[in-house]
Structure 1
Amino acid sequence: MAELQAKAKKGLQWSAIERIVTQGIQLAIALYLARLLGPTDFGLVGMLAVFIAIANVFIDSGFTSALIRKTDRSESDLVTAFYYNIAVSALCYLTLYISAPVVADFYQQAELQSLLRVLGLTVLINAFTLIPRVKLNVAMDFKTQAKISVLSVLISGPTAIVLAINGYGVWALVMQALLNASCTTVLLILFAPWLPRGRFTKQSFNYLFGYGSKLLLSGLLDVTYSNLYQIIIGKKFSPALVGQFTQANQLASVPAITITSIIQRVTFPMFSQLQDEPARMVNAYRKTLKLSALLIFPLIVALGLIAKPLLTSLLGSQWQDAAMLLSVLCLGYILYPIHAVNLNLLQVTGRSDLFLKLEVIKKGIGGTLLLLSIPYGVLAMCIGFTITSYLALLLNTYYTAKLTDLSQWQQCKDILPIWLAVMVAAALGYFAGLYVLQPWLQIAVNLSAAILAYGLYLVLAQKPLLLQLRSTLRR
């Protein structure tokens, strides 16, 4: 157990370094590109995001989680997953290539045809990364992955900036995606070499697809629903408004997804190794839940608090419509990492059927709210997204309670006081800077007041949790 904790701690540290540094650099580059290019170019790429995302879900098909979870995985399992990966990626790219004119006609944007055919090459490139990533994740070797991610971003990002400065417009964003995928694949092959030795076996496929198929369906639901906003905004409104939403959504989701990936990549293999010790797994789960809320809630809410002065200062007035969207989306995204921890427990216990059932229910609720909000504009759609996130928490904790001795109320009670404290601190920060006109001074006042209020709450009401966090970091 001590060895597993030490391994998990080291993995968490390097996973954090990789995600924070990589996403930090990518975000800085994206903001600079947004200032150079404007909403329309980002909107065009945003319209295509759903098609690339769906293709990537098909390529993975839940095999990554299936391989990590299987403690007695064999070389045949890896080879089977690899060949399946390559075949599906070729089929997906062919589908994207053929359907490109239809996509362009749907949005009534002729240049989307060539954009999709070039951007779609990333699905072929990414297919070669699955097995090296699985092997590195199983070994909790996030140090190597950190090197690969940072190097790829440092090569692809500046290249995109040079292209944007020289007038390549939206193609700068496309080339950034292609170059990033290519560098990542090449570096993974160099740092974590693996060659298929063996053949595709029916037995391995039956296990991998039997477990992964439900994750495949839930993944399709998730990416389709997540990108449905861009589809609807692009069809009903304009590429510029898609760009405004895409930028707001990216800024809100980057910290949430970054922290989620750090937690998920470490806790999934850790929970997997504790699956035969339910009591210890539940304790690890509760600890992860509370510490995640302690760190994540204030970070993402703070971003929503300073959205308006931040965007107008960094990106210019052309992006000011994204500020209110960003504030609303942040309220929904603060629960994103909590959802991931909940769902990790379902996957580890082998209940991918419940995972799928949950996704169907949640996306049904979200889709209904989305359809109802469309006539009221993009801001109403974002409010519907946030409401869906809170309803999803209730559903996730309900099913987690059915598989453990931990009640739904206890799970909510673990994080509710922290959530309330963060909201009160954000409100105090907002009113403190309400009449400050200079943007950067307003940001400083907002954050100072909010941090002070939240810090006092932690010292007065959450001292045991702070001590637990310090103890965890020192181990």
Structure 2
Amino acid sequence: MSSNSSDSLKSKAVKGILWGSISNGAQQLLAVFFGIYLGRILTPHDYGLVSLIIVFATVCSSIQEAGFINALANRKEVDHRDYNAVFWMSLMISITLYILLFAISPLIGRFYNQPELVPAARVLFIGLIFGSLGISHSAYLFKTLKVKERSLATALGTLCSGVVGISLVYLGYAYWGIVFQTITYSFTFSLICFLYSDFRPTLQINFAPIKELWGFSSKILLTRVVEILNNNILTLILGKNSTTSTGNYTQANGWSIKAQGVIANMSHGFAQPMLSTIADDEDRQKRIFTKLLNFICFAAFPTLALLNCVAEEFILITVKEKWLPAVPILKILCINAAFLPIINFYSNFLLSKGKSDLYMRYIISFGVIQLIIIYFLHGDDVLPMVWGISLFTMFWTFIWQLSVVAYSKIKYAELSLIITKYLITALLAGALTYFIGNFVESNWVSLIVKTLVFGITYISILYVAKSEVLLEIIHYLKNKYVSKHTDN
């Protein structure tokens, strides 16, 4: 491969990480702000109520997308005909799904014994149609590695939807604020993707490309639906008995997902299409893969370990005492969330190799075993189920790792070493943080002290161990500082 091609790919990787970091940082900050505001006003019942129908909407959203974005990303040559076929197919699916969901909304309300679910569901599901209008445009930005533009769409969608949500809640519309927040995000994201994409739909419809994409995308579709059900199975189970318990779980899960989402989404926006472009150059793919895995572990483990350490202070300061029952759930979910960015990265590697069938088998196997765990641990207390799922997720990460070894030149021990060194460092920093935190009573002071102790300890250990990622970051910051002062 030529030097120019190598530099171009490296440039795209740097831009991908940069814009992924900026976008996810901005998005998560906005999500934290809106989450705090909504959490202070809404009750656990309100959260639990809406979270139930959002699960249905999320499943249907995956059905209308049908894995086409990943299928287009893996295709060597893509033209207008492909994007146009996906656009019209997605729109047709979304309209069909909305009609179906509109009809069965009373059944959902009756099953959960929550009549107010019916009108809320019928309105929220409108977001499916808005979302379908942006699938082809989002696929275009994803395929062409326009990470900046896709990142802006995500950030602006979060901002606009958050403003709508808190405005309605402030005016007294309770859970309707979350309903319209969800719809607004779908509309805004699709609109921004449309504006940045060069693709424009036409009435010259030819569904032949759908048949060509279906072999790959159908496996992604089935996998995504199972994956969503895996991630929300506790919400569906808890919702049958108590929307308040569902709300507490949703609040805790939301914060853990926000924390790990910064890292997972940072690489997700470009990892699969980038790894696909160098799938035939295994040596080069190995170098890029291990470097990205180092970065993901470097960021994921300390982020979730710190959140575990400050969970109680964070909840009390942000969403107040009414959400205290969510604290023990959040602490356990941090274990689960710490490994999700790694699993997400491993799955992107499999997709870059075109192994959607293996990807599907992994997800379905996880779902089946998770159901068995829930069956044996199910009871009035949600904590045993959360513990079981979290520990299993940690174990399953190393099962995913087998697929990476099978389709690359990377050794299993090499990957395990990368994960273990950052995990142990985060655990050591967390242990010291917990010990020192016991001597501080004020929530604000405790939050600040724990954060400083954890950060200093984690960075110090890695610096002494000569962590490659840390040294590269320090080198980069030094160069930026020297360059800035040289220019001045």
TM-score per shorter chain, which class? over 0.9
- 1:278-289 to 2 correspondences below 5 Å: 278-289=282-293
2:437 to 429, 433, 452: 433
Deviation, structure 1 residue 412: 1.1
CA distance in 1, matches of 2:440, 2:318: 18
Deviations 1:300-326 (A, max 9, x none): 211111000110122111000111111
Q: What is the letter of the counterpart of residue 318 of structure 1?
A: K
1:388 is paired with a residue of what secondary structure? helix
Task: Identify the range of structure 1 (141-150 vs 382-391) with the bigger mean alpha-carbon deviation.
Answer: 141-150
Counterpart check, 1:17 vs 2:22 = yes
Q: What is the letter of the counterpart of residue 162 of structure 1?
A: S
Q: What is the letter of the counterpart of residue 139 of structure 2?
A: V
Deviation, structure 1 residue 454: 1.2
Counterpart check, 1:419 vs 2:423 = yes
Report the counterpart of residue 230 of structure 1 in structure 2: 235
Deviations 1:335-359 (A, max 9, x none): 1111111111111111111101111
Report the counterpart of residue 210 of structure 1 in structure 2: 215
Counterpart check, 1:305 vs 2:309 = yes
Unaligned regions of 5+ residues in structure 2, if any? 1-5, 481-488
Q: What is the letter of the counterpart of residue 135 of structure 1?
A: Y
Deviation, structure 1 residue 445: 2.2
- 1:267-286 to 2 correspondences below 5 Å: 267-286=271-290
Unaligned regions of 5+ residues in structure 1, if any? none
2:410 to 383, 406, 418: 406
Cα contact 1:306–1:443 (8 A) shared by 2: yes
Report the counterpart of residue 87 of structure 2 in structure 1: 82
1:449 to 453, 459, 478: 453
Counterpart check, 1:349 vs 2:342 = no
Cα contact 1:119–1:177 (8 A) shared by 2: yes
The root-mean-square deviation of aligned C-alpha atoms, in Å, is: 1.8
CA distance in 2, matches of 1:102, 1:375: 25
1:247 to 251, 257, 262: 251
Report the counterpart of residue 27 of structure 1 in structure 2: 32
Report the counterpart of residue 111 of structure 2 in structure 1: 106
Q: What is the letter of the counterpart of residue 69 of structure 1?
A: N
**TM-score (normalizing by structure 1):** 0.96
Report the counterpart of residue 120 of structure 1 in structure 2: 125
Report the counterpart of residue 7 of structure 2 in structure 1: 2
Counterpart check, 1:178 vs 2:190 = no
- 1:193-204 to 2 correspondences below 5 Å: 194-197=199-202, 199-201=204-206, 203-204=208-209
Deviations 1:367-410 (A, max 9, x none): 21122221262111211121121121121001211111222222
2:146 to 141, 158, 181: 141
Cα contact 1:66–1:212 (8 A) shared by 2: yes
Deviation, structure 1 residue 447: 1.9
2:322 to 294, 318, 323: 318
2:378 is paired with a residue of what secondary structure? helix
1:338 to 335, 339, 342: 342
In structure 2, do the counterparts of structure 1 residues 113 and 428 end up closer, same or farther at CA, with 3 Å as the change threshold? same
CA distance in 2, matches of 1:300, 1:220: 26
**TM-score (normalizing by structure 2):** 0.93
2:270 is paired with a residue of what secondary structure? helix
Report the counterpart of residue 264 of structure 1 in structure 2: 268
Runs of 4+ in structure 1 deviating by more than 6 angstroms, as ranges, are 472-475
CA distance in 2, matches of 1:105, 1:144: 42
CA distance in 2, matches of 1:253, 1:129: 24
Cα contact 1:75–1:198 (8 A) shared by 2: no
In structure 2, do the counterparts of structure 1 residues 258 and 96 end up closer, same or farther at CA, with 3 Å as the change threshold? farther
Q: What is the letter of the counterpart of residue 73 of structure 2?
A: I
In structure 2, do the counterparts of structure 1 residues 472 and 343 end up closer, same or farther at CA, with 3 Å as the change threshold? farther
Deviations 1:71-92 (A, max 9, x none): 2112221112112111111111
Deviation, structure 1 residue 193: 5.2
Report the counterpart of residue 69 of structure 2 in structure 1: 64
Q: What is the letter of the counterpart of residue 218 of structure 2?
A: S
Deviations 1:1-33 (A, max 9, x none): 111111221122112212210221022111111
Cα contact 2:138–2:190 (8 A) shared by 1: no
Cα contact 1:260–1:340 (8 A) shared by 2: yes
1:104 is paired with a residue of what secondary structure? helix
Q: What is the letter of the counterpart of residue 221 of structure 1?
A: V
Deviation, structure 1 residue 200: 4.4
Task: Identify the range of structure 1 (13-22 vs 321-330) with the bigger mean alpha-carbon deviation.
Answer: 13-22
Report the counterpart of residue 362 of structure 1 in structure 2: 366
Report the counterpart of residue 459 of structure 1 in structure 2: 463
Task: Identify the range of structure 1 (462-471 vs 109-118) with the bigger mean alpha-carbon deviation.
Answer: 462-471
Deviation, structure 1 residue 470: 4.7
Cα contact 1:76–1:198 (8 A) shared by 2: no
1:65 is paired with a residue of what secondary structure? helix
Q: What is the letter of the counterpart of residue 109 of structure 2?
A: A
Task: Identify the range of structure 1 (307-316 vs 373-382) with the bigger mean alpha-carbon deviation.
Answer: 373-382
